[in-house]
Structures are given as structure tokens and as C-alpha cells.
Chain A
């Protein structure tokens, strides 16, 4: 058995995740290395979902009966938990959405419809990076096309880092919004927040951080990040699908216009016009994902009970070991940083000229679940001249033995197509 420093007690933790005992393909225990796509859910979260539906289910807000009050308290309680988890100055800065994609689209649409000084229109610029998830590219392309704004981006270095050497030319006086990923889902890179935020603030641009791959894995403190908005998604952090978060600075949420209209988000409605509820409700039209928010609250409790620092340390140790072992595999090329420094636990690679689809299929036969393709970050594949990658991504329950299983699996792939 490999002994690494700083690991969590995975033996105990894995008991919380019933799915990790699944046997697949004639009795092989699943080795789940697709955590960057979605994490597995601990029993505590599943129980919270069940209990909500079995005992408290009702629509939230304004109900006067006991179930409605309980459901509202649980839903708003989840908001408190998330606010504490990200160290938000106020619970009213936490908007529940359906996922990170909706959170990112919400900001793009707020800015498209906003008044000065936030308004994105002709003669203004939007800045993103070449390593964004499609969810943080397409909303900005749409906004640029609809408003005539110019879309600009930071390129990448050969070793998978953001190239910000030309930061003063990319972020300029014309820039209204800079939106970038904190941890890349394809390269694993952890980006330099401070430098980008400082430059954006110097020119008066807003900053949106896509923390989808950060919130599950490290301490996320929106105050120390210094951004104006932070987006993430529940299902990658032990929560259910169908729940995401947008955190935004209170004064911005007060100033910016709503995007979706409907129930829950109004104050008064006449046939001619309406006034809106204060944030966060202004941005939560319609019946929200109530059970999912409750599930996310339970997930946040679960993560906090382990400690985000301990989770980060665990993943760092696993990542360091995985990078080292992967680099021993002949013909294997890591796409992204080749060390565990400033990198998350998602590791993309190519294996000679064996197509990732074939790599993934042969690994699956051995019970090893990885993701193959462009990981919703096709520009990264284009940048490095590859059609796709195989990606192994680890989480708080991953073990060194699972890294070893991956390495053995890759040996098998090489023999199969050799």
C-alpha cells in the first residue's frame, strides 16, 4: 500500500458513499475518477433530500401552514449555510440558480440590460480566457453579438497556465467585465486571481469568477477573492443536480436589473408594471429548486465537517502522486501543468495516438470511470492541437489504490491497441 502524507480517512469516508461499493462489468468494484464532471453524494445528502420530501415538502414563502413554514425555513436555512461556507458578508448575496451555467448566464444578462455604469454595449469590452468552460464562453459570445461589445481573452502558455503577460492590453479602460475560471476543469490549473482582480479594479471593470471546480475542493472565501460575482454548481460538491449558486456584492445586486420574471421575484404587480423584491429574490423567479437547495445545505455541512483545508490537502497529495505515476506511463502527455503546484485534481492527458474514446472504453471495461472528449472546453483542445483528452479527476474519497488502478488500466489500454 502506498503511504502518502495528509490523506483523509478514506476508509471511513467511503462508507458515506453507497455508490462507491457498486460492482460493474461482472463484479469489478467501480473506480470513480470522473469527479470533475460530477461528484458522488454522501448518505447525509441523500437522507436530507428524502426527509425533505417525506416530512416537509411544500412550496416556499408566503404559505401560512406548517409545511410551508418548514419548507421555507429549510430553503432559507440552506442559503445561510452556503453564505457561511463562502464567507459571504450577507446571506442576501446568495442567489440560488439551477447550476453554474445559469449563474454565469444570469450575470451576462444583468449586464446586457443594466443602466450605466454597468451596461455592456457597443464600444465596451468583455474579457474571458481561452481555458473557460463553454458555460463561460457562450453567454459572453451571445452578449457580444447582441450588444456589439468586443469579446477578448487571455491565451494560454505551453504548460497550461494563463498567459497574463499582456494583461494591460487585454483589460483596458473599455473593459466592463472580466470573467474567468478559478480552477480549470480540463487543465486543472489554478489561476492567479489577485493580479487579474487588481487590474480589473484599476480600470473599473467588474469581475466574475467561475468557481465550479474550486468550491468542491478548497476554501472559497468570496471576500478574500475580491471579485464582484462568484458562480458555482452544487452537483460537483456532493450536492444534488439542479442547484447552483451565484454570489454577488449586495450593492450590485440592488442596482442590477432582474433577468427572469415571474412569481417570487416581485413586490407588486399591476397590468402595466411591477416592482421587484429585494435581492436575492429579485433573481429567483418561480418556484425554486427547494429540495435541491436543502440537499446542497447538507452537502456544505458534510464538506465543512471534514474541513475544506483537509480536503484540499488530501487532494493535493493524491494529485501529486497521480501526476508522478502518470508521467511514468510511456507515451503519456499531460495536457496542463506537469506538477501538483497550483493545480486542482483534474488531470487531462493523451496516450500516444490512441484516441481518448478508445482509452475510456477499455478503462470502463475494467470498472474505471474517466471522462473523454473536449470536456466542454474545446478551445483548449484547439490550442494544444489535440482532438480530445482523457481526464481523470479525484475527490475527497479518492485513494492512492485508485491511482494505481488507473495506471494498471492504462497499461492494459496500451497493450490492447499496441
Chain B
């Protein structure tokens, strides 16, 4: 059945047992909504220099948006901001592929569990759900970086 290509077990697992959910200390916070369906997320990032040390979030929404936030937390925490941005871009590429992209090994290596979202990209109405937390994270990270005190000789 076609539905199974969207609701992969990995996605349903993340949905039922989200990783890293809840709001914790962070350097920047954003609130994003998906106006068409009312999915919402409040997301905080905590950076240590160039490293993403935490992504915490409170969210409300469908299985796809919930699972996607959980996968984001899994994949990105512990990475450098640069690496994490690459993951984000790869995920974006997959989600914008309209189901026409068959993830190759290189992509699977970058995206791990997130390749399970390939099936979602066939459903235009749901792509935004999958991207909600990722866009919020990108926004929060930009905010954290721009608000970070400019490193000076002694400080950095």
C-alpha cells in the first residue's frame, strides 16, 4: 500500500518515542508555524562555539512533523554547525524531490534515519510538515550565531 511508503516504521517509532523533546536551556529560540495545518514548534539551539550541543523543542502536530523533529535532534546534535547545515541541505533536497529521488548510499550516510522521509516527498501537503522543525532549526541557529558575542583576542 502507498501509505506505507509515507508512514515507514522508523517514522512511526520516532513519532511515538520522540528524541530530545522538551525545552531546555539554549542560545536562541524561535517559534515556527505551518499556517495551512496549524503545526507549531518552539525550538531552541545551544551552541558551544561551532558545535551544536543541544536542540530542544516543544511541538504540536502530525506524526510527520513530530518524527521529523526527533530525527533532527538525533542527526544534528553533536555535529559542527557546518556539518549540520549540510545535513539540513541534503534533507531539504530529498524533501523537494517530489518522490523522484532514490536516495543513494552517499545520501543515506548523511541522512541515516531521515531517508525514511523519502516517501513523504510525494505528498506536497506533507512536505511542509517534515520541514517545519528543520527550518526552525536553521533560523534559530542563524539567530544564535548573529547574537553570539563577537570573539575577541582574549575571549575566543
Secondary structure class of chain A's binding surface, majority of residues: helix
Q: Name which of A7-15, A182-190, A340-348, A353-361 contacts chain B.
A: A353-361
Q: A25-B2, A365-B2, A416-B7 are in contact. Are A358 and B62 (CB under 8 A)?
A: yes
Write out the residue numbers on chain A whose beta carbons fall within 8 Å of the beta carbon of B40.
387
- Report if A374 contacts B (CB, 8 A): yes
* Bound CA–CA A157/B130 (angstroms): 35
Residues in B whose Cβ lies below 8 Å from that of A77: none
A388 proximal to B (CB < 8 A): yes
- The reply on A86 being an interface residue by CB < 8 A is no
Residue picked from B38, B39, B63, B64, most chain A C-beta under 10 Å: B38
Docked CA distance A196–B47 (Å):
57
Contact of B60 among A365, A372, A387 (CB under 8 A): A387
- Determine the distance from Cα of A358 to Cα of B11 in the docked complex, in whole angstroms: 12
Is A378's CB within 8 Å of the partner chain B?
A: yes
Cα distance A378–B36 in the bound complex, in angstroms = 11
**Which residues B53-70 have CB closer than 8 A to chain A?**
60-64, 66
Give the chain A neighbours of B66 by CB distance below 8 A: 355
- Please tell me if A53 contacts chain B, counting CB pairs below 8 Å: no
Across the interface, do B38 and A381 meet the contact criterion of CB distance under 8 Å? yes
Give chain B's interface residue range (CB within 8 Å of chain A). Answer: 20 to 34
Decide if A365 touches B126 in the complex (CB within 8 Å): no
Contact at A378–B38, with CB atoms within 8 Å? yes
A44 to B60 alpha-carbon distance, docked (Å): 44
The winner among B40, B62, B63, B66 for most chain A CB atoms within 10 A is B62
B2 touches A355 (CB 8 A): no
Contact of A361 with B1 in the complex, beta carbons under 8 Å: no
Which B residues are in CB contact (< 8 Å) with A361? Answer: 3, 6, 123, 126
Among residues 402 to 418 in chain A, which have CB atoms less than 8 Å away from a CB atom of chain B? Answer: 416-417
User: Which residues of chain B are near A388, meaning CB under 8 Å?
Assistant: 37-38
Q: Is A289 at the interface (CB under 8 A from chain B)?
A: no
Given B2, B3, B12, B126, which contacts A357 in the complex, CB threshold below 8 Å? B126
* Residues in B neighbouring A357, C-beta threshold 8 A: 37, 39, 61-64, 126, 129
> Once bound together, how far apart are the Cα atoms of A361 and B126, in whole Å?
9
A204 in the interface (beta carbon within 8 A): no
Give residues of chain B (100-127) contacting chain A, Cβ–Cβ below 8 Å. Answer: 123, 126
A358/B38 in contact, CB under 8 A: no
Asked if A155 is at the interface (CB within 8 A of a chain B CB), the reply is no
13 contacts between A and B (CB under 8 A): A25-B2, A355-B66, A356-B62, A357-B37, A357-B129, A358-B62, A361-B6, A365-B1, A365-B3, A373-B36, A387-B39, A387-B61, A388-B38
Extra contacts besides A361-B6, A416-B7 (17): CB < 8 Å? A355-B66, A356-B37, A357-B61, A357-B63, A357-B64, A358-B62, A358-B63, A361-B3, A361-B126, A362-B3, A365-B3, A374-B38, A381-B38, A387-B61, A388-B38, A416-B3, A417-B12
A→B interface (CB under 8 Å): 25, 355-358, 361-362, 365, 372-374, 378, 381, 387-388, 416-417
